[in-house]
Amino acid sequence: MKKFYKFITVTILGLISVAIISCKQYKFDLDEWFDYWTSIPAITENNISAKDSDGFYCISHNTNEIHFKLRNIRKFILKTENIVEFKNTTPPPTDIFG
């Protein structure tokens, strides 16, 4: 009989522990979660569609522009002073790039 009471006690304590732990999802702060994910600007789409033979995205040397679609829900002002510009417009060597 002692083993039975011990089993019942351990089972009830285990169920109570599981109930307490599983209630965390009901106390989860959705505002904090959404605030984190909406405060970060992120690129959602781009126009880079070419892939090389290994499956990596690549940009053709004939491409003059690359477009990115940016998710910026909070309307952050992005600094554009360090934009990369490729000044050299000469075509690449044909023995390397074919």
Q: How confident is the model at residue 26, as a pLDDT?
A: 67
Residue 10's alpha-carbon distances to 2, 6, 20, 83, in angstroms, are 12, 6, 15, 63
**Percent over 70 (pLDDT), the chain:** 76
Domain ranges of the chain: 2-71
Q: Which are the contacts of 23, defined by CB distance < 8 A and separation ≥ 6?
A: none
Q: Phi and psi dihedrals of 24, rounded to 5? A: -60, -35
E strand spans, the chain: 42-46, 68-71
4 — pLDDT class (breaks 50, 70, 90): confident
Q: What is the pLDDT of residues 43-60, one digit of tens each?
A: 888 888 788 888 888 887
- Distances from the Cα of 92 to the Cαs of 37, 44, 57, 65, 66, in angstroms? 41, 30, 18, 17, 19
Average pLDDT for the chain: 77
Note the pLDDT tens digit of each residue in 58-70. 887 777 778 888 8
Rounded to whole angstroms, how far apart are CA atoms 47 and 69? 9
